[in-house]
Amino acid sequence: MHTSRSTPIVSVDVVLLTLFQGKLQAALHMRGRPPFQGCLALPGGYVHPEEDATAEDTARRVLREKTGVEPRYLEQLGTFAGAARDPRGWSAAISHVALMPHEDLRQSGGEVFHFYDVDQLPELAFDHSEQIRAAAERVRNKASYSTLPCWLLPEQFTLTQLQRTYEQIFGETVSRGTFRSRLGIKVGDMNPGEAVDQADILIATDQFQGGSQRPARLFRVNRLSLFKRACW
């Protein structure tokens, strides 16, 4: 038996990632209170036990309060805990990754965020640099074998936009044909209405996006689907 002692302080942090200026960027804001007052930091907050049924609910509430919108994608990243990360004592931060198209953040009435390339971060509060590094690694890894990048785009998108998204995440380009065969997609096979490709990856809409060239069909993502083999 050990003596009763105070339990660690629990908070929830969110690494909100978006594609901006052709790079994967994280949303940061300036802290108004100590510790680390005046430092750039991730959005985060404490659990409200009466309001939040789960830690993910806390993350959603924090995002709603600071951006005014719901994230397109949200998952738990992991917990960063220990004696050293917060000068006030032993603490645990349940960290999450959120993905959003950048337009959704521009038009929101919430707090002003600064965006930084995840590969060129300034000094940050707490262990937030480490959290962003872990989040970027997770996203790049999952992107290599799943439809995760769809959630960095608006609900409807063209195949070319999706290809650019993958390319920006990895910093590599690929030929159109290769990209499409990776996804197992043949647009012609799909009935305009609700048809789905063979792997249930994307849903073809009957909408098209035109410019002064052949219009491109718009797609929606069905659900997070995993490919058999890792690409990229």
- CB closer to DNA out of 30 and 231: 231
From CA 183, how far away is CA 189, in angstroms rounded?
Answer: 14
Query: H-type helices in 93-229, by residue range?
Result: 102-106, 128-143, 159-170, 176-183
Q: Report the partner that residue 49 touches, choosing among a copy of itself, DNA, none (CB closer than 5 to 8 A by kind).
A: a copy of itself
Q: Is the peptide bond before 35 cis (omega within 30 degrees of 0)?
A: yes
Smallest distance from a copy of itself to CB 227, Å: 9
Hey, which residues between 169 and 208 contact DNA (CB under 7 A)?
A: 174-178, 180-182, 185-189
Count of residues in contact with a copy of itself, rule CB under 8 A: 30
By the 10 Å C-beta count (0-12 exposed, 13-18 middle, 19+ buried), 215 is classed as: exposed
Smallest distance from a copy of itself to CB 111, Å: 16
Q: Which residues contact 171 (CB under 8 A, 6 or more apart)?
A: none
Closest CA to 72 of 80, 81, 63, 82: 63
Closest CA to 144 of 57, 226, 41: 226
Q: Which of 30, 41, 47, 174 binds a copy of itself (CB under 8 A)?
A: 47
Print the binding letters for residues 100-139 with DNA: x by CB under 7 A, - otherwise: ----------------------------------------
- Residue 227 phi/psi, 5° resolution? -85, 160
From CA 90, how far away is CA 104, in angstroms rounded?
Answer: 36
Smallest distance from a copy of itself to CB 175, Å: 20
- CB closer to DNA out of 37 and 141: 141
Using rule CB under 7 A, residue 229 touches DNA: yes
Tokens 């950048």 belong to which residue?
A: 102
Q: Which of 90, 108, 115, 167 binds a copy of itself (CB under 8 A)?
A: 90
Interface positions with a copy of itself (CB under 8 A): 2, 5-10, 46-49, 52-55, 76, 78-79, 81-84, 89-90, 92, 94, 145, 228-230
Q: Which residues bind DNA (CB under 7 A)?
A: 158-160, 174-178, 180-182, 185-189, 210-217, 228-229, 231
